[in-house]
A and B are shown apart, each in its own frame.
Chain A
Amino acid sequence: MPHAYPFLTPEQKKELSDIAHKIVATGKGILAADESTGSVAKRFQSINAENTEENRRLYRQLLFTADERIKPCIGGVILFHETMYQKTDDGKVFTQYLKERDMVVGIKVDKGVVPLAGTNGETTTQGLDGLYERCAQYKKDGADFAKWRCVLKITPSTPSRLAIVENANVLARYASICQMHGIVPIIEPEILPDGDHDLKRCQYVTEKVLAAVYKALSDHHVYLEGTLLKPNMVTAGHSCSHKYTNQEIAMSTVTALRRTVPPAVPGITFLSGGQSEEEASVNLNAMNQCPLHRPWALTFSYGRALQASALKAWCGKKENGKACQEEFIKRALANNLACQGKYAASGASAAGGDSLFVANHAY
């Protein structure tokens, strides 16, 4: 405990820090296109498209080849393993194609959730076995960041202390291994929005979870300046009867983060969870208008919130390619504005957001 045994050289630290900053540069966020084969099946099913490897390639290609309007919006793209090795129609590997467009390539490295025996349906996440070697290979193959998702849920008896501690620990182990290979770990401790709990309950749980995560990162000697956080926004549960405004969500979220995420972390890239595309943008915008000091970038790492309309427009049909890309570009531009606090939801003015913050509400 009292001695440091440094394992990252100054050059390695600089590389990690530079990558992280590049991903969350002003106006930029992450396209989470790392849906596993099983998750893609669900998406494709809803648009009656067949879940074949070729269709997956074609769909991702549409997103990656959207025109230069997305360049100021997308700092990084998270890929699933299969996608790392697929190519464009011209035969260029996707990773190379994305790099040439100045987007940092990321890779999902976890292997899904597994149950924690003796708990009320809680889980941890597996994938540490051989992660060291896998990371070395991914770095060679073009990845500069990685993602690992842990899941917690709110019920009267959860999250339990075990679930919090175990998930925090596994996230820290993953982060530590990534950094040894020049890969920036995105740390994702998602607290599901399922349930009827109110905003305050979610804020409280989020604070406890994040405090445990950052203590674990410290214990595992993770270099914070070379990491990113991908948390849930603080929202009420899906079945909570009380509806909260975007400003209340923003205030709760920023307060929770200010109480737990050290300023050394360069950026926080929110997951969209079950939010609609518009909600995800409006909430992100409200965060960036919050009158409290925010020492990290607050941006997006959206999957569904960037792709929902694009998928619908595509429907698996080649002739819909342009329409699909237009929808994606539209959301990318919206979130580019939102992460700078400049997004005007349709019908509202961008400047109007500030005054909607309730100054007295104690969080």
Chain B
Amino acid sequence: MTHQFPSLSPEQKKELSDIAQRMVAPGKGILAADESTGTMGKRFEKIKVENNEENRRSFRELLFSTDPSISNCVGGIILFHETLYQKSDSGKLFPQVIKDKGIVVGIKVDKGTAGLNGTDGETTTQGLDGLSERCAQYKKDGCDFAKWRCVLKISDSCPTSLAIAENANVLARYASICQQNGLVPIVEPEVLPDGNHDLLRCQYVTEKVLAAVYKALSDHHVYLEGTLLKPNMVTAGQSCAKKFTPQEVAMATVTALRRTVPASVPGICFLSGGQSEEDASLNLSAINQVPLNRPWKLTFSYGRALQASTLAAWQGKAANKAAAQEALCCRAKINGLAAKGEYKASGSADQASKQSLFTASYVY
């Protein structure tokens, strides 16, 4: 506790810090294309496409071979293990295709959730076994960052202090191992939107969870400047009767983050959860307009919120490729603007009036 046993050299720290900064450069965010095979199956089912390896390769090829200008809005792409070793139509490995566009390649490294006995259905996340060796290999194979998702839920009795402590600890172990291998860890403690709780309840829980996460990261000697956070936005539960405006969501979110996330963290890349593409963009833009000091970049790490329209346009048909890519570019551009607080929904008032929607007196 009293002595430091430095585990990262100055060069290693600089490398991690540089990678993180590149990923969240102004106007850029992350495309989360790391759906596991099972999850991809759910996406494909909606558009009646068979969930086989070739179709998954085809869809990702569509995403990654989009117009190079997408790198103006996308700083990093997260891949699933299978995808890291697949090739584009031209025979080039996907990581190389992505790198050629100046985009950083990332890899999902967790192995899914596992039940915590004695709790009300709460979980931790597994994947630490052999993680160091896997990270070393992923680094060789072109990755510069990783992602690990922990899940917490809000109910009358949850999240419990066990769930909070256990998930914070496992995230810190993962982060520590990644950094040893030159991978920037994206730390994702998702608090699910399921439930009928209101905005304040979500804010309270998010603050407690994030305080525990950053204490664990400190305990595990993680180099914060070489990490990114991927949290949920603070929103009311999906079945909450009361509806909240993007400004209320933004204020609650930024307040929670200001109370828990140290300024040395370079960027916060929100997950979209169950939000629609448009809501995810509107909320992100509102977040970037909150009149409070925000020392970290506030951007996106969207899966569904970037791909929903793309999938719908594609329908599994090669003929629809261009239209599908157009849809992706469109959403990417919008979120790039949102990450700068410059996105306004079509037909709505200008910047100045958006500011006034912030209820200055609402105490969070």
Which residues does A use to contact B, with CB under 8 Å? 1-4, 10, 13-14, 154-161, 164, 200-201, 204-205, 207-208, 211-212, 214-215, 218-219, 224-225, 255, 257-264, 293-295, 360, 362
Contact = CB atoms under 8 A, between A and B. Distances in A.
Contacts of A294: 263
A205 B2 contact: yes
A195 B4 CA distance: 16
B211 interface: yes
Contacts of A212: 215
A19 to B, nearest CB: 15
B146 to A, nearest CB: 21
Given A159-B2, A293-B295, A263 B263 contact: yes
B2 A218 contact: no
Chain B, interface size category, equals: 35 or more
B355 interface: no
A280 to B, nearest CB: 24
Interface centre among A14, A160, A258 (most CB of B within 10 A): A258
Interface centre among B3, B155, B158, B159 (most CB of A within 10 A): B3
B261 interface: yes
B24 to A, nearest CB: 14
B22 interface: no
11 contacts: A2-B160, A3-B201, A10-B363, A160-B1, A211-B215, A218-B211, A219-B211, A261-B262, A262-B262, A264-B259, A362-B10
B180 to A, nearest CB: 16
Interface string B1-26: 11110000010011000000000000
B259 to A, nearest CB: 4
Given A14-B363, A362-B14, A154 B164 contact: no
Given A211-B218, A214-B211, A218-B211, A1 B264 contact: no
Interface stretch (B202-210, B241-249, B314-322): B202-210
B255 interface: yes
Nearest to B162: A1
A119 to B, nearest CB: 12
Contact of B4 (A161, A164, A200, A264): A200
B2 A215 contact: no
6 closest cross-chain pairs (CB), A and B:
A362-B10, A10-B363, A218-B211, A211-B218, A4-B204, A215-B215
A358 to B, nearest CB: 12
B90 interface: no
Contacts of B164: 1
B348 interface: no
Interface string B263-284: 1100000000000000000000
Nearest to A17: B363
B1 A208 contact: yes
